[in-house]
Amino acid sequence: MRIPLGVTLAFALIASAPAIARGQERHEEAKAAPAAHAVDRNPPRANGGKIPPAPEKRDANAAREVHKFDDGRTSDRPHVANNHFYGHEAPNDPRFHLDHPFPHGHFAKFGPSYRYSITRIDVNAHRFWFPGGFYFDIAAFDWAQCADWCWNCGNDFVVYEDSDHVGWYLLYNVHTGVYVHCQYMGT
């Protein structure tokens, strides 16, 4: 007795439907809540391989802190080491005073739980874009700190609200450990 090919395929499809549904459920669960053992395909290289917590607000008269290394070297370059933000300008630095902070609104998705790649960079305007069209201007006085970053190499960045300078954000490169000041310009 010959069974037509269409009937055989229909039977196979009906028999496999529960397995396909279970696979789809697992896929949806994995997208919604990544497994704790998920591998970071682009792990941070700076700060001991960890994303630092947000910097703490400092006293209004705090000075720019210099990083003193065990071998006697020092650095006042803005960077993070052992979850500490070194080289951050004094809270009362007049370059950061804005008559109208956040003129384009607040950027809501900031902090260590949000990692971004750059989708576009305009090096002449010191401007960069995140997925979704969110864009920022880097402070002209900080551009030298990041001009040599490989903006299109897939490096990851974290944005922090600058706790010492109202209206400013800190853009942290998770691979170099360096951060710069920027302002949110909207979408």
Amino acid letter for position 71:
D
Q: Are 164 and 78 in contact (CB under 8 A)?
A: no
Per-residue pLDDT 10s for the chain (187 aa) are 566 655 554 555 455 544 444 444 333 333 333 434 456 778 999 999 999 999 999 999 999 999 999 999 999 999 999 999 999 999 999 999 999 999 999 999 999 999 999 999 999 999 999 999 999 999 999 999 999 998 988 889 999 999 999 999 999 999 999 999 999 999 9
pLDDT reported for residue 28: 35
Could you count the other beta carbons within 10 Å of the beta carbon of residue 132?
10
State how far the alpha carbon of 136 is from the alpha carbons of 13, 154, 163, 184, in Å: 51, 18, 18, 5
pLDDT reported for residue 19: 47
pLDDT reported for residue 41: 77
pLDDT reported for residue 152: 86
Q: What are phi and psi of 114, to 5 degrees?
A: -115, 115
pLDDT reported for residue 40: 76
Consecutive H or E run containing 34: none
